[in-house]
Structure 1
Amino acid sequence: MADWNGPDLEKIAAAEELDLASERSNGTLREAVTMWVVRSGDQLYVRSVKGADGPWYRGTQSRHRGRIQAGGVHRDVTFHPAGPDEYRGVDAAYREKYGHFPSIVEHVLTDRARASTLRLEPR
């Protein structure tokens, strides 16, 4: 598991949104999608409201690689499925960071969304 450097971790975690572009099988990047990002411990996570059926999520599954941009940081990353033992911390991070959007945040706290939790690791 690759570690984030402190300043990049802080900047990305503080950003309201993250732009994520996944790699196609030929190595080119798909169009970036804007989404929420949270920090749990020293890791960064994203989830698909539509779960594994979400188009952007499906795009991450071909090469498990892509590029993110948030908080002025641009990084190439790998996408790793989070395990169920990580869901509780990620849920709490979503509630804390985005709880001021109560009718929206609940959509990333469903079992369907949890199953699509990806840990972002720098490469």
Structure 2
Amino acid sequence: MRRRLPAGESRPLLAEPPVLPEPAWAAGTPVGTAFAALRAAAGAGGALLGERARAALLETVGGWDGDHPAMGGGWLDGPPAGLPGADRPGARLAPLAAPAPYRVTDADVTAWRAGRTTPTWYG
């Protein structure tokens, strides 16, 4: 987590993302560019989920009050629990990444990647 990263190393990840306008509060700054790229990548990520998984994500994140979720994973068992097996990993990973990305595990990512393809703009 605290290793030094070479400047510009992540630029290839932004080679082909959808382009969104910079927010007015940061227009013309590197923060504005980064924020617009982040919004585009996050928005495009929805296309990586099935329709039912996207609905479960919206329900889970829509009910989030901004606090850190409880350490147990029970709060993730709500909407994703009723989904078919193929939709469940994405419906769990996406809302976990929103409020608590530090709690995403290798197992969460591996389960989601199973049977998925990587979008061309991501690398």
Q: Whose relative contact order is higher, 1 or 2, with alpha carbons under 8 Å and at least 6 apart?
A: 1
Q: Which has the larger radius of gyration?
A: 2
More helix by share: 2
After TM superposition, is the score higher than 0.5?
A: no
Scaled by the length of structure 2, the TM-score of the pair is 0.28
Q: Given the two structures, how large is their TM-score scaled by the length of structure 1?
A: 0.28
